[in-house]
Chains A and B, each alone.
Chain A
């Protein structure tokens, strides 16, 4: 989630009461936002909430005023005013970007700060909740520069218009290809214009290439008195709620908000919708969920703190969901708000009324016992990333890349990460290569997972690998560790000759438990050592623990 910068003076003017920085910070934090910094002019907020209505100073000031019981205007209605504009949606745009809504605000008074904050809000909103404008995009226009009361929204051919902050007309296709916004948001247009370019027009021509950029002709400035805002997207509900949110915001800014009609085929819809929604919860249910005793008066007061109008109705509290709240899905969301209003600090922790024995998984118990055994034998545990690349997992180990058997990543942003490791020894080789300066002998082990793909399905297994590096170390030192491990776990084992390219031919063996191969050991080939920058001989083993455990009798 983004960090946003609010102008402090602007926020204070919207609050309409005096508040110290410290108090302001506390109130914002109690609402569930993180204040990163307050300076003389700005408040930096780490935005981590489902509530886009708090993403600008207007909405935040509204929420703080409710929180401190300084406001009881709970409803944002528009009444029976006549639509100021009509948008005619043509059929050909329904595949490209079907949904549009809008609202008109008259008598708005922007200064440079309030205008800039609204622009920032629109951008952040479209980036996050609007999924980089794919789901929601907002366009703001100077109403007085729009030539007609009837607008059209359609999928157009590659037309020309003068985009925002530009003097020269430009083609849609060129804007998509060459402009910053075009490159950033171009993929919000289905099939890059093959279904036509969605555009909003008045009688004089293009108002906006949607959802990329508006025309310069209807640019909003501090001189703008009357404004038209369009909202487009791919979900009717999201468009509707976004228009509601914007309308509430414009009303709070003192504008006279007027509806916009959208005609699509035979259907006509008036925006903003401002639908009244009610959710009822009994005070007992609140108590049951939160562990705090509520009477209905207390609950209603807490509801008011969060901007809900609430009333007792047939034994339940009926919460009226504010029109600008996009995030309320069901009663759980309201219960959460009540907890926030009550204050997490005031909720008394309550012990669970029951106790039962806990337990660890067998695999944890097994791993602990093996780890203890290896540490007892003087091996230090290492833990490495599961993520690796073909060079480390295969090539540096002197073996061929097995593309079919490895779990491969499709979209790593990291050039050194392309697959999930299939075994642990390469990780230990990396560790040894980096610790040449440390006192010898180096005795390392790792007990963790390795991954392969078998018949199209991922296979996750625990492995155990250990390596000894020392000028005097030889194969018997590592064999001694294996023998002790087998003995400790009551495994009947034997060694057999084995050939593995990572090891010196003739100095490598397989480990069999009850005749079943569970791993291998050997002296690493100098080619492998050199590729990891290791300068002393290394002997090592790796076993598949799941195979090992199935043979263990202890």
Chain B
């Protein structure tokens, strides 16, 4: 039996015969819930429903609006209060209707276009309009007979104003419990002592003692919860950072937007290398160039290029601003700085140095479902004496081992290694 049905049945058992209102009061359920439960009880043969012809007040659309906002004359009177208002200030349709009714009911005096509440008006202001109250009670679902008893003539007035209508319908007059229903109520047995939702009061005052907890339906699926997640790419980045740092690497980072110098020249990439082509690299129009602060280093790089690549090296090309095409620019800056520190007596920097970076880099490519123009790279670098290719292999195997990846090495070609 559903808990609503159970509640209704228990109230019904005490009363033998009850009206719908009784049941609503007794169960603390809503009207719809009670009617729904009664339908179930009737089908099970636990209750008999008796009907009679009934009159019911129903609000029109306009009536519904006034039930919420108040009658037009009520609204206007409230605004007016003890002040005066000029008729020329009445523009809104609602206010015009309000003024009509205030005049018709004789609650205001108008002299030379000036509106003022009279003594009757002031009294109504305190007591309220009976039709307004009736309107609210209709909206709240109070029975028609009760409203008629409380506010004489009000319902008829509302009907005349087109705010409510009286509709005749067949409704439930009373409900009787059947013998079967009585037995079912007994069979529920401890029903009266069963606990549904546990509340604070019950816990603190041990109200649950000596009672049973009604079982919930544990088999019925419910809607899934929403999980807030870290982005899977971020997870991977963090895993890589942790793998590096656990192997004694220190994290470094560097600019995303660089002069070509740090992305290409300092990495021994000749100035006519195809990777510097406009097709592969994002060059910038704002800013077009970025100054290279390390003037002395620029000279050294120029000399190395001109010796090895046998063509003249142009500073203007090195200044061109680009979105970095790899994160090795971070390593290049770092190596330069580290060497500076190693040569300086004040610095505490000592060999060996292990550093890594993870960052975004860019390729001027068409974007589709498997290609992006920006993606991530990681760079590891060890500066030390007597480092061998065998050391590099070991480091890479361990790093990727931590990420669950097995490696096989093959010779290949990369311009700056």
Question: With the chains together, A82 CA to B284 CA distance in Å?
Answer: 54
Interface 9-mer from A11-19, A283-291, A512-520, A528-536: A283-291
Q: Determine if A40 is an interface residue (Cβ-Cβ < 8 Å).
A: no
Q: Is B262 an interface residue (CB 8 A)?
A: no
A292-B411 in contact given A381-B231, A383-B231 (Cβ < 8 Å): no
The answer to whether A409 touches B389, judged by C-beta atoms less than 8 angstroms apart, is: no
Is B252 interfacial (CB 8 A cutoff)? yes
Contact segment of A272-280, A359-367, A538-546: A359-367
Inter-chain contact A347/B389, CB cutoff 8 Å: yes
Which stretch (B74-82, B191-199, B239-247) binds chain A? B239-247
Question: In the complex, which residue of chain B has the Cβ closest to the Cβ of A351?
Answer: B394
Expressed in whole angstroms, the minimum distance between the Cβ of B304 and any Cβ of chain A is 10
A410 at the interface (CB under 8 A from B): yes
Within 8 A of B (CB), among A365-407: 368, 371, 374-383, 385-387, 403-404, 406-407
Pairs of residues from A and B, 8 with the lowest C-beta to C-beta distance, nearest first: A291-B390, A291-B388, A32-B411, A358-B245, A349-B394, A350-B390, A458-B257, A410-B285
A413 at the interface (CB under 8 A from B): yes
Q: Are A458 and B390 in contact (CB under 8 A)?
A: no
Contact A386 B251 (CB under 8 A): no
Chain A: CB-nearest residue to B289:
A456
A451 to B362, CA, bound (A): 14
In the complex where A347-B393, A350-B394 touch, is A408 in contact with B286 (Cβ < 8 A)? yes
1/0 per residue A334-362: CB within 8 Å of B? 00100110001101111110111111110
| A457 within 8 A of partner (CB) | yes
Residues of B within 8 A of A412 (CB): 282, 364
With A235-B311, A411-B364 in contact, do A375 and B228 touch (Cβ < 8 Å)? Answer: yes
- Interfacial chain B residues near A290, Cβ < 8 Å: 388-390
**Looking at the complex, which one of B285, B308, B360, B397 makes contact with A409 (CB distance below 8 Å)?**
B285
Residues on A with C-beta less than 8 A from B234 are 371, 381, 383
* A135 nearest CB across to chain B (Å): 6
Alpha-carbon separation in the docked complex, A278 to B394 (Å): 33
Chain A min CB distance to B369 (Å):
14
Return the chain A residue nearest B358 by Cβ. Answer: A364
Binds A, one of B22-30, B62-70, B210-218, B271-279: B271-279
Q: Tell me the bound Cα distance from A289 to B354 in angstroms.
A: 18
Answer whether A32 and B251 are a contact pair too, CB < 8 Å, given A288-B388, A413-B364: no
Within 8 A of A (CB), among B249-298: 249-253, 255-257, 272, 274, 278-279, 282-288, 290
Complex contacts, B311 vs chain A, CB 8 Å: 234-235
Q: Assess the B255–A386 pair: CB atoms within 8 A.
A: no
| Distance A29 CA – B411 CA, assembled complex (angstroms) | 8
Q: Do residues B367 and A417 form an inter-chain contact, with CB atoms below 8 A?
A: yes
Verify if A449 is at the interface (C-beta below 8 Å from B): yes
Residues of B within 8 A of A379 (CB): 228
**Structural contact, B248 and A358, CB atoms closer than 8 A:** yes
- A460 near B: Cβ within 8 Å? yes
Q: Does A68 contact B (CB under 8 A)?
A: no
- The complex places the Cα of A356 from the Cα of B350 at a distance, in Å, of 12
Residues of A within 8 A of B21 (CB): none
Residues of A within 8 A of B413 (CB): 1, 32, 48-51
- Contact A29-B410, Cβ < 8 Å, known A291-B388, A357-B248, A458-B255: yes
A553 within 8 A of B: no
User: Chain B 359-394, CB within 8 Å of chain A: the 1/0 string?
Assistant: 010101111000011100000001010111111011
Residue B51, interface by CB 8 Å: no
Contacts of A62 in B (CB 8 A): none
B395 near A352: Cβ-Cβ < 8 Å = yes
Asked if B257 contacts A356 (CB within 8 A), the reply is no
* B272 touches which of A134, A237, A458 (Cβ 8 Å): A134
Q: Closest Cβ of chain B: how far from A99's Cβ, in Å?
A: 11
* Chain B 216-229: CB-based contact to A (< 8 A → 1; otherwise 0): 00000000001111
CA distance A428 to B365 in the complex (A): 23
Chain B interface size band reads 35 or more
In A477-534, which residues have CB < 8 Å from any B CB?
A: none
Q: Does B310 contact A (CB under 8 A)?
A: yes
Once the chains are docked, how many angstroms separate the CA of A330 from the CA of B307? 11
**Can you give 24 A-B contacts (C-beta < 8 A)?**
A29-B410, A235-B310, A238-B310, A291-B391, A336-B411, A350-B388, A351-B391, A358-B247, A360-B245, A361-B252, A371-B230, A377-B228, A378-B228, A380-B227, A387-B373, A407-B257, A410-B282, A413-B365, A457-B287, A457-B290, A458-B255, A458-B287, A460-B255, A460-B256
CB of A49 to closest CB in B, whole Å: 4
Decide yes or no whether A221 CB sits under 8 A from chain B: no
A463 CB within 8 Å of chain B: no
Q: Which residues from chain B contact A359 at a C-beta distance below 8 Å? A: 245, 250-251
The answer to whether the Cβ of B321 comes within 8 Å of any Cβ in the partner chain is yes
* Shortest Cβ distance from A336 into B: residue: B411
Instruction: Report the Cα distance A414→B230, complex, angstroms.
Output: 29
Q: Which residues 50-101 of B have a CB within 8 angstroms of A?
A: none
A30 at the interface (CB under 8 A from B): yes
Chain B residue nearest to A378 in the complex (CB)? B228
- Taking the complex as formed, is A131 at the interface, i.e. its CB lies under 8 A from any CB of chain B? yes
**Alpha-carbon distance A376/B299, docked complex (angstroms):** 52
Which residue, of A48, A360, A403, has the highest number of chain B Cβ atoms within 10 A? A360
Contact across chains for A453 and B287 when beta carbons are under 8 A apart = yes
| A34 and B411 alpha carbons, distance in the complex (Å) | 10
A158 to chain B, nearest CB (A): 28
Q: Does A439 contact B (CB under 8 A)?
A: yes
What per-residue 1/0 map shows which CB atoms of A408-430 lie under 8 Å from chain B? 11111110110010000000000
Please give, as numbers and ranges, the residues of chain B lying within 8 Å of A416 by CB-CB distance.
Answer: 367
Are the C-beta atoms of A385 and B373 separated by less than 8 Å? yes
Alpha-carbon separation in the docked complex, A146 to B249 (Å): 65
Give the docked Cα–Cα distance between A267 and B311 (Å): 21
Within 8 A of B (CB), among A279-325: 288-292
Q: Is the pair A410, B283 in contact by a Cβ cutoff of 8 Å?
A: yes
Nearest CB on B from A40, distance (A): 26
Contact of A251 with B by CB under 8 A: no
Q: Is the CB of B253 within 8 A of A361?
A: yes
Question: Given A358, A441, A449, which contacts B249 in the complex, CB threshold below 8 Å?
Answer: A358
**For residue A439, which residues in chain B have a CB less than 8 angstroms away from its CB?**
226
